[in-house]
Amino acid sequence: MSKKIVQIDYVNEGDSIAMKPSGELVMTNADNYDLKQMPITKDTKSITLDMENVERYDTFMLAFIYRVETMCKEKEIKFEMIGVNTDMQSYLDLLMPKDEAEPEKEEKGSKFVLKVENLGNKIKTNLTDIHGFVEYFGILTTKMLKLFVKPLSMRWEDFPSQMFRSGVMALPITILIVFLIGLITGYQGATQLKRFGADMFIADLIGISITRELSPLMVAILVAGRSGSAFAAEIGSMKVTDEINAMTSMGYDKYEFLVLPRVLAVVLSMPFIVMICNVVGLFGGLIAAISTLDVTVISYINRLEMSLTYGDIASGLIKSLFFGFVIAAIGCYKGLKVEGGADSVGRMTTSSVVASVFMIILSDAIFTFIFQAIGI
């Protein structure tokens, strides 16, 4: 079956134009017409749209009529439509918008006022966010302290599975990354140390950088990407599907039911992951050391024993506890902030990772100053 296209004939009759579309005035033929081809001159006083030869039509016909009519209004040309049969008239009556109501969401005011208004709204949103987070943080801290008095207030059933998911399951990737970081740091350091004949200090370099900074930091960033985002997405989806409302209506506290098990699981699993990663990172450094420098396994270990202090290891572990709290608290907070649908879940999940990584780096800097000040 050959497709009929729309054809528009124009007949000039003095100062008026007769416009005669024929064929199928349908959406799929939209690229066959161009109103700019209409032979309008400054002398044109009227346009008559003759619909008699239109064989088939759809909503496109209404848009077509509207555009011709609008063009006539703009150019102050009289518009008339003829040749409309009964069926076509019923179709037009049913679908043609009767009156142009003002859009309710239309923004009013000058550009300057709008900019100020937008700025104000942004500040208000940010302040509300900060207020919301401080409030959340306060409630969470209170609930955690309450655990010391009433340990059974938390839903412990979820705790082992959360610990497994955010702790044990995170081990392979964290181990691999910290091993590679140890290896890279070792190779980079070895090149520099070799120039000064300070080969043996490779153990100091690796030991301190891995235990104090690199291991806790890398583990925290990876856990933020794995568990923090998962918490935000999981709790966010539960919010979208009213599971949290159902939980609240049954008398459960969302903090005790959802947030605390996740926060505790991450907080408690972080030091263990960091400890394992410390060993692996030092091993990575060892491989770099023995393969590029004149260092033996025994001398590397002996040097590590001499250079590493309990303070170095403790500072990394203390930081990891705090990082764990930040990651889980932010992940759950962002999940609880989800409103609307799937897009909000996506936005909050992304936001949880960005906020967690930022807070990890910021708190790491603060910890460095504090440890420096107290001599750890």
Partner 1 sequence: MEDDFIIEAQNITVRYGELTVLEDVNFKIRRGEIFVIVGGSGCGKSTLLRQLIGLEVPTEGQILIEGENLSEASQDDSSSIMKKFGILFQSNGLFASMTIGENVKLALDSNTSLDEETADRIIDIKLNSVGLINYKNFYPSEISGGMQKRAALARAMALDPDILFFDEPSSGLDPLTASALDKLIIELNAGLNTTMVIITHDLASILTISHRVLMLDKSVKGVITEGKPEELLNMKENELVYNFFNRIPMEG
Return residues touching partner 1 (CB under 8 A).
26-28, 30-31, 58-60, 62-64, 66-67, 90-91, 94-98, 101-105, 339-344
In sequence order, the 6+-apart residues with CB closer than 8 A to the CB of 344 are: 236, 240, 338
Beta carbon nearer to partner 1, 59 or 192: 59
| Minimal distance, residue 281 CB to partner 1, in Å | 42
Q: Looking at beta carbons only, is 14 or 97 nearer to partner 1?
A: 97
Cα separation, 121 vs 127, whole angstroms: 10
Place of tokens 């109501």: 101
**Distance in Å, CB of 53 to partner 1, minimum:** 20
- Residue 248 CA from chain centroid, whole number: 27
Residues whose CB is less than 8 angstroms from the CB of residue 61 and which lie 6 or more positions away in sequence, other chains included: 25, 26, 54, 88, 91
Q: Which is nearer to partner 1, 94 or 145 (CB)?
A: 94
Query: Rounded to the nearest whole angstrom, what is the least distance from the CB of residue 88 to partner 1 in the complex?
Result: 12
Q: Among 63, 132, 125, which Cα is nearest to 91's? A: 63
In 10 A of CB 208, how many CB atoms? 17
Q: Of the two residues 119 and 342, which places its CB atom closer to partner 1 in the complex?
A: 342
Distance from C-alpha of 287 to C-alpha of 306, rounded to nearest angstrom: 19
Quickly tell me which residue has 């102050």 as its tokens: 76
Write the secondary structure of 139-194 as one string of H (helix), E (strand) and C (coil).
Answer: HHHHHHHHHHHCHHHCCHHHHHHHHHHHCHHHHHHHHHHHHHHHHHHHHHHHHHHH
> Residue 13 or 93: which CB sits closer to partner 1?
93
Q: How far is the CB of 59 from partner 1 (least distance, A)?
A: 5
CB of 95 to partner 1, least distance (A): 5
Residue type, 265: A
Q: What gap in Å lies between CA 231 and CA 228, rounded to an integer?
A: 5
Q: How far is the CB of 345 from partner 1 (least distance, A)?
A: 10
Nearer to partner 1, 142 or 245 (CB): 245
Q: Which is nearer to partner 1, 29 or 352 (CB)?
A: 29
In the bound state with partner 1, the residue whose beta carbon lies nearer, of 29 and 174, is 29
Q: How far is the CB of 7 from partner 1 (least distance, A)?
A: 17
**How far apart are CB 62 and partner 1 at their closest, in Å?**
5
- Distance in angstroms (rounded) separating the CA atoms of residues 218 and 262: 20
